[in-house]
Structure 1
Amino acid sequence: MHDRFARSEWFRNDRFGLFMHWGAYAVPARGEWVRSYEHIGTDDYQQYVDAFRPDSFDADAWADAAARAGMKYAVLTAKHHDGFCLFDSELTDYSTMHNGFGVDVVAEFLRAFRARGIRVGLYYSLVDWHHPDFPVAGDPYHPDRDKPTAEGIDGHEPDFDRYLDYLHGQVRELCTNYGDLDLLWFDFSYGDLKGEAWRATELVRMVRELQPNVLIDNRLEGSGGEKGSIITAHPSEYAGDFASPEQVIPVRGLADETGEPIPWEACITLNNHWGYHAFDHDWKPAKLVVRTLVECVSKGGNLLLNVGPDARGRFPEKAVEILREVGDWLADNGESVYGAGAAELPKPEWGRYTERDGTIYAHVLEERVGPVALDEIDQESIASVRLVRDGAALGMAKAWMAEGNPGLALVPIGPDEAFSYPLPDPVDTVLAITRRSAPEG
């Protein structure tokens, strides 16, 4: 992998992270875009800001849930598009420090997650629907876009340069006041508001000076499915350290224009919303989460899984239950995920392959008739096969079972090679395949 991605080594090792979208929008409980979708003006939104005083906020409980789930890094929304800040900023009083709650949520988040050895990142919205100098006219998402006073909030004429000074100033605060950060997650760019419209080169140079080891996503150039110049041979200075596809898994992973893999992370919601939504009960089961994580790793990527805490500061009970189940699977099979990546083998019909330090991991997702055929792996090249979750050694079926395809490796998952058995783990049965060393010559 190119030297420009050297700082992301830990990121490509850890593979599984927690995203948390939280803010005043948890009070109306209809998702983080409620202001835009329902055209809620600043004055009408104030009732939710005033009510955002979460009596059950406990960053340690969040961190415990993440650690229990096997997550290795976490990213919290320091400020989302509504402009309401979860940190102590000298540039605004529109924050949890001044709305009656009186807590620096970012500081508490960082303390709790660092204490558990979980790497930490902060999300910062480039967009701000509260700031009077963020442009309204012509913006397709601003809550006030259809009002007669759309030239500005309450008739104020926006000064975008003044807004950019504010944006850069708040990023400076986050990079200065909270110790070493592992990630900065900018969001989002669209239309004419991308790249140098944000004074992106200046912004990134400041960040690199203050936080030389921090990873930056690619959304100063684009959002969601847009990869920007990170995939080119000559990326911009603000191209980012990893790509960030949203709510979708790339078909074949991501690579630059030469075919060289690049770091990437799929950000996926646990239900269908980023911010808390009281009526969204379409939770992704643990089985799907595990298989999505494995799919990402098998394609050289990460999974950043989102949970939106409620207005009282709690993870929804169903989310905690799912995270616990995912953590149980990772406790048994984590060696096939952490530090692993794509194997140089075609995708098998029964599941996926990952690889770590020369060990191939077969993720068997579909029940088979008879032994599992290890596609594209010659039996003579295999030194041993074991079931990862308990370390049990597995044998190889006799050659007669591979009639018509000599050399095909066949692994029975029960005591009799001629019988068919249920998978030991219906979520994902993982086999570790150690290959023989090539003879020296």
Structure 2
Amino acid sequence: MKINRLTIVVLCLITGVSCILPENNQVKEFEPTFESLSKHKAAPEWFADAKLGMYFHWGPYSVPAYGSAWYPCNMYIKGSDVNKFHEKNFGPIEEFGYEDFIPMFTAEHFDAEDWADLFQTTGAKFAGPVAQHHDGFAMWDSKVNPWNALEMGPKRDIVGELFESLRKRDIKTLATFHHARNGQRNANTPEYWGRNGFNSHYPYHPDLPTATTDPKLRKLFGNWENIEDFNQYWLDQVEEVVDKYNPDILWYDSWLNMIPEEKINEMLAYHFNSGLKNNQEVVVCSKHQDIPLEIGIDDLEQGGRRDIYPLPWMTDITLSQSKWMYVEGETYKDAALVVRNMIDVWSKNGTVLLNISPRADGVINQEQRDILKKIGDWMKVHGEAVYGTRPFKIFGYGTATADDASHDGQSAKVKYTANDVRYTVAKDKKSMYVFFLGVPEGGEQIKMRTIGGFHRNLPPSPIKNIKLLETGQNIEWKLTPQTLIINMPEVEYNPIASVLKLELE
């Protein structure tokens, strides 16, 4: 049996034995092998403490503001809704291709300082852009990719400007990559011609513009002469971002499994060694465990988990009801829905990556800003119950169900109420926090049987006092062998979520 970091962690959790795992400072240089890479600490303390990050889908696909971030793909599928919209509004795809949106992606209102302020006031501890989506357009100053934001479109280094502003505020930096899907893999499979969803983002057909052999344009469509050349191009772009900007987190969308393992290992070693060189505790995240859990963080898109997970994990969610990029007429989740679902994630050892959607001109509309302000106002008051905390023995209890279930049986749009309760514990175990995911009823007596001694879920040490975190008001309580009895005072409760602080001995 191969003993690795994950095996050790699971055994320690089962036996209750304290784990001492190798730290990055014991490694002089990482090699592109599993044995070497697994010595990297997947979730450093700062990441486990951070709880909330923010990013944004923004690029030439934002110009039409229609459909989804898959507009570049769908516009080339003859007869599709997006194709019809495109040809009606911009002309035939043979005359107006995706590349023609790039000059219209002006970003004239992009203000890195303002955006960094917005992320900070929302409560994010790390942030950054979609560095490259499936469309093949790089949002940084690239010498590798000729299709980049400094050379065309905004004619600005979006990644560089934003990272500089974030670091002024001590916010960790994130670059997300979705370009594994950009490589054209269907040129030799006629049964997939003209379709999407099969290995490559852009549909391929000899008669489509995406089949171009133009030396520059083919790079946008990922249409290389052979996939091995694309795989190196994929790696070269990531390494360029690591060299130029030293991101704290590299995050990968689905389809990373399309990249050969040796290229992924080269990328990981490059990122980790850059961290060693720059004295950074860097992180890598991926979906579907495309990067082993011994090495990176697992991300569940728009989802969650039914129970506490033994390792730190992440979910990426979007502020809009369903879209990731800006779409005309899109509606957004209210702050209460977002925060309550984030609390559920935090109670289960998770971290949230929240997406917003700027317009092509660089405006983050007021509706999104208003929601983010409400989230930030709540975080300012209740942050001590979130940042730097860890899960309790159980995540909580309640009656809410995930009608729109995804992944591990959860979703990002569960409608919680005050009957749903979640727990976190301070790292020093001097405090425990009780979240009501709704508005409690004043004068109500709550019997919190999940904390009663009968259920063996007592706090880490005896309770000294219980306070309403928002006001500091003392709460009447009594702990019996069967239950914790709490008498909720007649006060005006927070409309998003109320938190009780259990002060422990």
Q: TM over 0.5, yes or no?
A: yes
Q: Which residue of the partner structure matches residue 230 of structure 1?
A: 292
Deviation at 1:387, TM superposition (A): 0.9
Moved more, 292-301 or 366-375: 366-375
Which of 359, 376, 380 is the equivalent residue of 2:450? 376
204-213 vs 134-143, greater mean Cα deviation: 134-143
Listed as ranges, the matches of 1:166-205 within 5 Å are: 166-178=233-245, 180-189=246-255, 193-196=258-261, 199-205=263-269
Structure 1 residue 308 and structure 2 residue 357: aligned?
yes
**C-alpha distance in structure 2 between counterparts of 1:411 and 1:291, whole Å:** 21
Alpha-carbon offset, residue 72 of structure 1: 0.8
Cα 1:128/1:228, change in 2 over 3 Å: closer
User: Which of the numbers 292, 297, 303 marks the counterpart of 1:248?
Assistant: 303
Deviation readout 1:319-376 (Å, 9 max, x if unpaired) = 1111100111111111111011211136233311111132211112353572222333
- Inter-partner Cα distance in structure 2 for 1:56 and 1:162: 37
- Give the equivalent residue in structure 1 for 2:497: 428
| RMSD of aligned Cα (Å) | 2.6
Helix, strand or coil at the partner of 1:64:
helix
The alignment partner of 1:109 has SS state of helix
Provide closer, same or farther for how the CA distance between residues 18 and 203 of structure 1 changes in structure 2, counting only shifts above 3 A: same
Match of 1:360 among 432, 442, 445: 432
Given residue 33 of structure 1, which amino acid in structure 2 is its aligned partner? W
Partner of 1:69: 122
Could you say what secondary structure the match of 1:202 adopts?
Answer: helix
Of residues 43, 56, 71 in structure 2, which corresponds to 1:34?
Answer: 71
Unaligned runs of 5+ in 2: 1-8, 10-18, 22-39, 77-82, 84-92, 214-222, 399-418
Q: Does the 8 A contact of 1:76 with 1:106 survive in 2?
A: yes
Are residues 102 and 424 of structure 1, via their aligned partners in 2, closer, same or farther at CA, if it must alter by over 3 Å? Answer: same
Displacement, 1:124?
Answer: 1.8
Q: Is the 8 A contact 1:126 1:188 kept in 2?
A: no
**C-alpha contact 2:52 2:124 (8 A) present in aligned 1:** yes
Match of 2:61 among 14, 20, 25: 25
Change in 2 beyond 3 A, CA 1:314/1:407: same
Alpha-carbon deviations, 1:400-434, whole Å to 9, x = none? xxxxx7653222222xxxxxx46622311100112
Shift of 1:378: 4.3
Tell me, what secondary structure is at the counterpart of 2:180? Answer: coil
Which of 226, 229, 235 matches 1:159?
A: 226
- CA 1:97–1:108 in structure 2 vs 1: closer, same or farther (change >3 Å)? same
Q: Distance in 2 between matches of 1:353 and 1:54?
A: 42
CA contact (8 A) 2:308 2:394 kept: no
* Structure 2 match to 1:417: none
Q: Distance in 2 between matches of 1:289 and 1:377?
A: 26
Of residues 322-331 and 374-383 in structure 1, the stretch that sits farther from structure 2 once superposed is 374-383
CA 253–310 in structure 1, closer or farther in 2 if over 3 Å, else same? farther
Equivalent of 2:203, from 145, 163, 169?
A: 145
| Alignment match, 1:135 | 185
Q: Structure 1 residues 430 and 153 mapped into 2: Cα distance closer, same or farther (>3 Å)?
A: same
Task: Flag the 1:167–1:251 CA change in 2: closer, same or farther, 3 A.
Answer: same
* Number of residue pairs aligned between Structure 1 and Structure 2: 398
Give TM-score scaled by structure 2 length.
Answer: 0.73
- 1:383-405 Cα deviation digits (max 9, x unpaired): 110111122222226x9xxxxx7
Distance 1:96 1:362 in 2: 46
AA of the residue aligned to 2:243: T
Residue type of the alignment partner of 1:193: M
Q: Provide the identity percentage.
A: 26
Contact 1:382–1:433 (CA<8 Å) still a contact in 2?
A: yes
Does structure 1 retain, via aligned residues, the 8 Å contact 2:62–2:69?
Answer: yes
- Whether the 8 Å CA contact 2:138–2:147 is kept in 1: the answer is yes
| TM-score between both structures, scaled by the size of structure 1 | 0.83
